[in-house]
Amino acid sequence: MTYSIVTVLSGLFSLLELAIFIECIASWIPQIQGNKYMNIIHNFIYPILEPLKRLQDKLIPGLPMDFSPIIALVILNMLKRIVFGSLF
């Protein structure tokens, strides 16, 4: 039972990480911005990245680079350690 929970949670964390990486790479390629698959990924990741973008704007206004994906990956990694640490 615990093994299946760990497998599902690990898959969800990996899916989130992959979606954040794809969103970052896609932001540099304007030809795929309107793609329906990219819209699905954007709609999936937007609720995670948007609060971090607003926090970044409050802490460091006018910063030309968006660090919200990096912050999201760090937070996701910490959550993964907390969840998997409590299971074992």
pLDDT value at 47 more than 90: yes
- pLDDT digits 0-9 by tens, 55-83: 999 998 888 888 999 999 999 999 999 98
What local confidence, expressed as pLDDT, does residue 88 receive?
Answer: 64
User: What pLDDT, on a 0 to 100 scale, did the predictor assign at position 6?
Assistant: 85
pTM: predicted TM-score of the whole model, two decimal places: 0.85
Percent of the chain with pLDDT over 90: 62
- How far, in Å, CA of 26 to CA of 49, rounded? 15
Buried-state track 14-41, b at ≥16 Cβ within 10 A, e below 16: eebeebbebbbebeeeeeeeeeeebeeb
Q: Taking the CA atoms of 9, 15, 20 and 21 in sequence, report the sign of the dihedral they define.
A: positive
Split at pLDDT 50, 70, 90, the class of 31 is: confident
